[in-house]
């Protein structure tokens, strides 16, 4: 039986390696390793206009972290601290998610990916979380995934997948879910009330988390994605 194929949305950034300093389509290796460790085949999906065409060959979709979503997508003006907006990536991931949902693929959203799941359904975001919660506990240090406590609602898909209702989650974000979109349910929260996980109502195949599980030691979210992907009919 062939291993399931998991598409992971990738970044378009300038990068340096060897003697090169140029534009690149890239992704932190931790995402790739986390998916591969479950027995699935990770495939990077660059933010190009026709990226959604690849979905027919996928068994699951992972929406990765990254820069901020364009506030125009949820009807807001861009705030001073909003950064890293790439409209091409916003459009590509919107199309990827649309195609994945149309095919009934399991979807996992991580950090920005969770925020995208909410905005996709008409929800909004806090553009700079410290202005809302009064502290920088969700992004304490530059380039470091510091943990903070998260509480998960009992009986939710999130709790079943994680196998627990309390964890220390590796975190690095300055934006967060504000108003929930249509059919979106919050399922986990930080101690300050920030939404840390969400699900789509009426399905057990869409899950988003605000933290970065690829930077931790718990493989349960990736194992869940691969398990559902493997249970699907082979892509044609």
Whether 93 is a known active-site residue: answer: no
175-203, pLDDT tens digit by residue? 999 999 999 999 999 999 999 999 999 99
Where do the domains of the chain lie? 5-231
Over range 59-76, report the average pLDDT: 97
Exactly one of 138, 148, 173, 212 is catalytic; name it.
212
200-214, pLDDT tens digit by residue? 999 999 999 999 999
SS (H, E, C) 40-102: CEEEEECCCCCHHHHHHHCCEEEECCCCCCCHHHHCCCCCCCCCCCCHHHHHHHHHHHHHHHH
Instruction: Identify which of 213, 194, 234 has the alpha carbon closest to the alpha carbon of residue 2.
Output: 234
Exactly one of 93, 111, 173, 196 is catalytic; name it.
111
18-61, pLDDT tens digit by residue? 999 999 999 999 999 999 999 999 999 999 999 999 999 999 99
| CATH of the domain spanning 5-231, picked from 3.40.50.880, 3.30.70.2740, 2.102.10.10, 3.60.15.10 | 3.40.50.880
Global pTM reads 0.96
Whether 201 is a known active-site residue: answer: no
Instruction: Identify which of 95, 121, 8 has the alpha carbon closest to the alpha carbon of residue 60.
Output: 8
Q: What is the DSSP letter of 56?
A: G
Whether 13 is a known active-site residue: answer: no
Q: Please list, in sequence order, all residues whose beta carbon lies within 8 angstroms of the beta carbon of residue 121, skipping any fewer than 6 positions away.
A: 180, 181, 182, 183, 184, 200
């Amino acid at each position: 039986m062939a291993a399931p194929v998991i598409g992971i949305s990738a970044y378009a950034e300038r990068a340096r390696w060897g003697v090169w300093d140029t534009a690149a389509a890239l992704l932190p290796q931790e995402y790739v390793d986390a998916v591969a460790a479950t027995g699935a085949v990770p495939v990077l999906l660059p933010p190009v206009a026709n990226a959604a065409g690849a979905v027919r060959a996928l068994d699951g979709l992972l929406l990765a972290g990254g820069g901020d979503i364009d506030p125009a997508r949820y009807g807001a003006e861009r705030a001073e601290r909003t950064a890293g907006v790439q409209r091409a990536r916003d459009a590509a991931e919107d199309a990827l998610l649309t195609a994945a949902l149309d095919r009934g693929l399991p979807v996992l959203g991580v950090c920005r990916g969770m925020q995208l799941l909410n905005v996709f359904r008409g929800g909004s975001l806090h553009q700079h979380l410290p202005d809302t919660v009064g502290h920088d506990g969700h992004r304490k240090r530059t380039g470091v995934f510091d943990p903070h406590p998260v509480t998960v609602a009992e009986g939710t898909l999130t709790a079943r997948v994680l196998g627990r209702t309390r964890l220390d989650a590796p975190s690095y974000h300055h934006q967060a879910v504000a108003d929930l979109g249509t059919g979106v349910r919050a399922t986990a929260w930080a101690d300050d009330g920030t939404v840390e996980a969400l699900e789509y109502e009426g399905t057990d195949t869409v899950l988003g988390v605000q933290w970065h599980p690829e930077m931790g030691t718990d493989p349960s979210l990736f194992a869940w994605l691969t398990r559902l992907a493997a249970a699907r009919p082979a892509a044609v």
